[in-house]
């Protein structure tokens, strides 16, 4: 198998989603750093690859794909050898997809509403309504985990790597998870997954950016 290129920036949650999915599937990657802080995503060369000028982008022997969850699904479908990671069974797959959509349409949106104004120095504190809104969605995630070891059932899937990588930045910023025992247990399970340490390094960068601008 020839090496697949992943255009990546460690502080980017979506980029970490694609990376951790690849690690779970076991597919080799050639990592190409696109430094968002230096605006390398707007370079002429990168815009030819991805006109949306975002990370991640996958280049699999000339097949170009962006959007982290699409990349995760593609890698699992093409290179996965364990059907449980992204099940072929239509109902089991639907649950995995639903969990990933829940992340991108709800968890990620609410996390960004909190973190991005702080990272970009617009705010220096977390508004109570945003905190409550995000915690309400974490309560849903905690409920999904109430009778399951993993977010989509009994087996680890790309839904787990997606939600973990996506939320790892705000967790690294020190979000209070004391009300979410099932999430705490799940995070311990995630620490044994392939790529965990790489994801943790990128999440720390994101978390530190948040903590730096928070009013003490």
Which of 12, 66, 68, 168 is catalytic? The answer is 12
Q: Helix crossing, 128-144 with 108-119: angle to 10°?
A: 140
Phi–psi pair at 192, nearest 5 degrees: -100, 0
Alpha helices in 80-157, H assignment, sequence order: 90-102, 108-119, 128-144
Contacts of 134 (CB under 8 A, 6+ apart): 107, 110, 111, 113, 114, 170
Contact yes or no for 77/71 (Cβ under 8 A): no
Token output for 121: 């120095």
Which residue, 175, 163, 161, 165, is CA-closest to 211? Answer: 175
12 is catalytic: yes
Token output for 147: 């009778």
Residues marked active site are found at: 12
């Amino acid at each position: 198998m020839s090496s697949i290129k992943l255009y990546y920036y460690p502080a980017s949650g979506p980029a970490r989603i694609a990376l951790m999915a690849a690690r779970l599937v076991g597919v080799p990657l050639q990592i190409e750093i696109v430094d968002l802080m230096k605006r390398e995503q707007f370079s002429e060369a990168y815009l030819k690859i991805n006109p949306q000028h975002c990370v991640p982008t996958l280049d699999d022997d000339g097949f170009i794909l962006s959007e982290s969850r699409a990349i995760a699904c593609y890698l699992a479908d093409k290179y996965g050898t364990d059907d449980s990671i992204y099940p072929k069974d239509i109902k089991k797959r639907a649950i995995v997809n639903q969990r990933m959509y829940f992340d991108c349409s709800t968890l990620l949106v609410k996390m960004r509403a909190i973190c991005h104004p702080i990272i970009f120095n617009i705010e220096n504190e977390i508004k109570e309504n945003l905190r409550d809104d995000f915690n309400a969605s974490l309560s849903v995630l905690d409920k999904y985990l109430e009778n399951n070891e993993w977010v989509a059932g009994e087996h680890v899937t790309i839904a787990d790597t997606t939600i973990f990588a996506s939320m790892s930045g705000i967790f690294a910023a020190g979000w209070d998870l004391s009300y979410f025992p099932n999430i705490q247990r799940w995070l311990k399970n995630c620490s044994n997954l392939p790529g965990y340490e790489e994801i943790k390094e990128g999440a720390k960068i994101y978390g530190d950016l948040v903590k730096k601008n928070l009013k003490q």
